[in-house]
């Protein structure tokens, strides 16, 4: 029986690469192009295949050894020293001898001509190279150098379980993902609610695994007392998933301020008295919408959306407002607020709020907003941190107006004034803190002296 020594072929620029995996052992039967070992440099891992079929007689290297082109890997007893196996082996060796010299080129030419499986150290499972590589796959390998770090056998294991390695946290050296990491990930996913549908890693309940977090606590609540299980409403599920995405994806900052609306409240009550018969009721919301329009005119970056590296600046002024309904939160949008007077804004917003409570809003009623207002003033509370309604870049939270002592320079005394708490959350990728402070100060000036809206 003929014995052949298998050597590391031309592996491009790589030399002194570490053996990180032995994929065969003495006595194993191997086929041509079956991987024998995995080696790893700081840039890529490669499986070195056999260029002959037969039985491994002995391994000539061990884990951790450094190998280069020409290092003997194993002795193999050739199975039926056939013309075909030798010629394939010879052809493979000839081909590998022509492989290129840098990682990129090595990947491309290797894929095209040699049986070496070259993978970026971090290639995720779905792009792990099959035996018959194509140049397209080799390109993918070279492009994926900063993805998860795992050995081919762990990638194979993950692939078999359908696990996306980019979601698994590696506990090995330099963050390398081990088989145990994959097993723990699967365990965590199974422990989370089976009904939670992940949407790009985010779901209404969410396993947390997608964000690299520990799983959601699983508690047997009945152990502590009586409970009732109530499914989330459709609106809650939809708005929950949206709020979760917005909270996670947008770097929020919330700027608070308190503004004196005493004079505006007097004006509002006078207008309400005047229009008592018309059936239109003016609440603070209509005045805030009107003042917001002025603010958007002065600070156009608040009437914008991020699209990749571009900021879309909107020339229209459609103002959304959160409405509390028996089924959950919805945000109808009041169109062209800049073209409407206070009374029209009040009438339309109360119509939209009624439609929202009856569950009759159409998707079109809730689209195309410039900025949103979340007014909890009718209910109570002061400052809070509203979540931006993507793809908008800011939202104004309004609390309940409260009488408070305010220092008056004019009379050099404290006077009781009606103070309105405002909370402006903004997307810090688009809006700087200084711009937000200017926006809320200007809004405060308008609400304190509503005549300024006409300027
Ligand atoms: N300070 C003090 N009183 C206020 C106020 C404020 N900031 N805002 C409203 N009020 C008063 C109103 O004047 C009205 O008083 P009267 O009954 O004496 O006339 C009362 O509170 C109820 O107002 P309203 O809530 O019916 O009307 P509105 O125009 O202020 O708000 C709407 C309409 C649809 C925004 C509101 O009904 C609503 O649903 N708010 C909840 C929004 C929400 O859930 N936000 C949270 C989103 S998640 O972050």
Q: What is the DSSP code string of 162-198? A: T--GGGSPP-SGGGPBPHHHHHHHHHHHHHS-TT---
Q: Which residues of 365-398 are buried (b: 16+ CB within 10 A; e: fewer)?
A: bbeebbbbbbbbbeeeebebebbbbbebbbbbbb
In this structure, which residue's CA is closest to atom 20 in ligand 1?
A: 378
User: Alpha helices of 275-341 — where are they, by DSSP H?
Assistant: 284-298
Q: Is the peptide bond before 391 cis (omega within 30 degrees of 0)?
A: yes
- pTM exceeds cut of 0.75: no
Give me ligand 1 centre to Cα 251, in Å: 28
In this structure, which residue's CA is closest to atom 6 in ligand 1?
A: 377
Question: Which run of H or of E encompasses 11?
Answer: none
Torsion of CA 192, 197, 199, 203, to 10 degrees: -60
**pLDDT per residue rounded down to tens, the chain (455 residues):** 789 999 998 887 778 888 888 889 999 999 988 889 988 876 667 788 888 899 999 999 999 899 999 999 999 999 765 433 333 333 333 333 322 223 333 333 333 333 444 444 333 333 222 222 323 333 222 222 345 677 777 887 887 787 888 888 888 877 888 888 888 888 777 665 444 434 433 344 555 666 788 889 999 999 999 999 999 998 889 899 999 999 999 999 999 999 999 999 999 999 999 988 888 899 999 999 999 999 999 999 999 999 999 999 999 999 999 999 988 889 999 999 999 999 999 999 999 999 999 999 999 999 999 999 999 999 999 999 999 999 999 999 999 999 999 999 999 999 999 999 999 999 999 999 999 999 999 999 999 999 999 88
Distance separating alpha carbons of residues 33 and 320, to the nearest angstrom? 62
pLDDT at 423: 98
Distance separating alpha carbons of residues 428 and 252, to the nearest angstrom? 6
Give me ligand 1 centre to Cα 378, in Å: 3
- Bridge partners of 402, per DSSP, are 419
What's the first-to-final CA gap in the chain, in angstroms?
99
Cβ–Cβ < 8 Å for 47, 30: no
Scanning the structure block, which residue is given the tokens 């700027």?
Answer: 255
Scanning the structure block, which residue is given the tokens 């770090």?
Answer: 149
Ligand 1 site, residue 374, Cβ cutoff 6 A: yes
Spatial CA neighbour of 125 closest among 108, 105, 140, 136: 140
Radius of gyration in angstroms for the set of CA atoms belonging to the chain, rounded to a whole number: 33
Give me ligand 1 centre to Cα 377, in Å: 5
> Is 428 part of the annotated catalytic residue set?
yes
Ligand 1 site, residue 159, Cβ cutoff 6 A: no
Cβ–Cβ < 8 Å for 22, 48: no
- Residue 208: alpha-carbon gap to chain centroid: 12
81, 256, 275, 428: the catalytic one is 428
Give me ligand 1 centre to Cα 374, in Å: 9
Ligand 1 site, residue 178, Cβ cutoff 6 A: no
Q: Is the peptide bond before 33 cis (omega within 30 degrees of 0)?
A: no
Distance separating alpha carbons of residues 387 and 320, to the nearest angstrom? 13
Please calculate the CA angle 117-122-125 and round it to the nearest 5 degrees: 70
User: Alpha helices of 44-173 — where are they, by DSSP H?
Assistant: 83-97, 103-113, 135-143, 152-161
Cβ–Cβ < 8 Å for 133, 142: no
Scanning the structure block, which residue is given the tokens 């109530």?
Answer: 230
**Ligand 1 atom closest to Cα of residue 281:** 19
Distance separating alpha carbons of residues 304 and 31, to the nearest angstrom? 61
Scanning the structure block, which residue is given the tokens 């947008």?
Answer: 250
Ligand 1 site, residue 322, Cβ cutoff 6 A: yes
Q: What's the sign of the alpha-carbon dihedral 429, 432, 437, 442?
A: negative
pLDDT at 34: 86
Distance separating alpha carbons of residues 178 and 165, to the nearest angstrom? 10
Distance separating alpha carbons of residues 373 and 193, to the nearest angstrom? 34
Distance separating alpha carbons of residues 218 and 203, to the nearest angstrom? 17
């Amino acid at each position: 029986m003929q014995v052949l020594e298998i050597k590391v072929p031309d592996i491009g620029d790589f030399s002194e690469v570490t053996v990180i995996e032995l994929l065969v052992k003495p006595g194993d039967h191997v086929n041509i192009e079956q991987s024998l070992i995995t080696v790893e440099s700081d840039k890529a891992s490669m499986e070195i295949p056999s260029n002959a079929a037969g039985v491994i007689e002995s391994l000539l290297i061990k884990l951790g050894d450094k190998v280069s082109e020409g290092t003997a890997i194993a002795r193999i007893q050739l199975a039926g020293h056939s013309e075909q196996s030798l010629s394939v082996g010879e052809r493979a060796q000839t081909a590998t001898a022509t492989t290129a010299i840098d990682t990129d080129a090595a990947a491309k030419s290797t894929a095209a001509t040699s049986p070496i499986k070259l993978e970026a150290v971090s290639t995720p499972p779905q792009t792990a190279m099959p035996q018959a590589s194509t140049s397209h796959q080799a390109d993918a390998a070279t492009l994926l150098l900063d993805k998860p770090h795992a050995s081919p056998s762990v990638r194979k294991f993950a692939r078999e379980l359908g696990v996306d390695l980019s979601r698994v946290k590696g506990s090995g050296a330099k963050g390398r993902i081990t088989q145990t990491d994959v097993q723990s990930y699967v365990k965590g996913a199974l422990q989370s609610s089976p009904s939670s549908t992940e949407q790009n890693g985010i779901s209404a309940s969410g396993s947390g695994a997608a964000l690299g977090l520990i799983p959601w606590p699983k508690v047997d609540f009945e152990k502590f007392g009586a409970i009732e299980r109530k499914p989330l409403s459709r609106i809650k599920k939809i708005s929950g998933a949206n709020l979760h995405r917005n909270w996670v994806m947008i770097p929020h900052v919330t700027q608070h301020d308190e503004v004196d609306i005493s004079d505006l409240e007097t004006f509002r009550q006078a207008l309400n008295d005047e229009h008592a018969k018309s059936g239109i009721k003016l609440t603070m919301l209509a005045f805030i919408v009107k003042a917001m329009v002025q603010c958007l005119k002065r600070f156009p970056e608040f009437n914008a959306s991020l699209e990749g590296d571009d900021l879309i600046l909107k020339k229209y002024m459609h103002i959304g407002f959160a409405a509390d309904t028996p089924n959950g939160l919805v945000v109808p949008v009041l169109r062209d607020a800049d073209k409407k007077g206070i009374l029209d804004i009040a009438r339309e917003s109360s119509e939209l709020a009624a439609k929202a409570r009856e569950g009759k809003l159409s998707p079109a009623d809730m689209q195309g907003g410039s900025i949103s207002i979340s007014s909890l003033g009718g209910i109570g509370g002061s400052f809070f941190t509203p979540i931006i309604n993507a793809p908008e870049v800011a939202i104004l939270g309004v609390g309940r107006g409260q009488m408070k002592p305010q220092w008056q320079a004019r009379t050099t005394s404290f006077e009781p004034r009606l103070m309105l708490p405002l909370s402006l959350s903004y997307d810090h990728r688009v809006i700087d803190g200084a711009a937000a402070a200017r926006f809320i100060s200007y809004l405060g000036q308008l609400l304190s002296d509503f005549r300024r809206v006409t300027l």
